[in-house]
Amino acid sequence: MCSPARNAVWVIAPDPGVLLRHWGNSYVAYNVASGDTHQLGALAGSIVEHLRARNMTRFELSEMLDSDEAANDAQFCEILESTLTDLANLGLITVRQV
């Protein structure tokens, strides 16, 4: 399952936030606080896009990003986890305990 950390909610970087543009699966994100621009893959771009709309747990994200089966797929969950960590390291998203 993609939802072992039930209390963790992923949120977009706090104000001034993140700007995002995409063309198909080709994404670029701008971290307004740092002034850094990042080219993102399809999964990372989609995560930022969803989190700009609202805060989500990892399980909610996995549901939004793919089917229920994917949410139960260990490999997908691993990639999702790794992508969330990468995005957090870039300062584009952060995790909040609730």
**Is there binding between residue 26 and another protein (CB under 8 A)?**
yes
- Of 34-93, binders to another protein (CB under 8 A) are 35, 37, 39-40
Return the range that interacts with another protein (CB under 8 A); candidates 6-14, 26-34, 72-80, 81-89. 26-34
In the bound complex, what is the minimum distance in angstroms from residue 50's beta carbon to another protein?
A: 18
Instruction: Reduce the secondary structure of the chain to three states and give it as a string.
Output: CCCCCCCEEEEECCCCCEEEEEECCEEEEEECCCCEEEEECHHHHHHHHHHHHCCEEHHHHHHHHCCHHHHCCHHHHHHHHHHHHHHHHCCCEEEEEC
Residues lying near another protein in the complex (CB under 8 A) are found at: 16, 19, 21-24, 26-28, 30, 32, 35, 37, 39-40
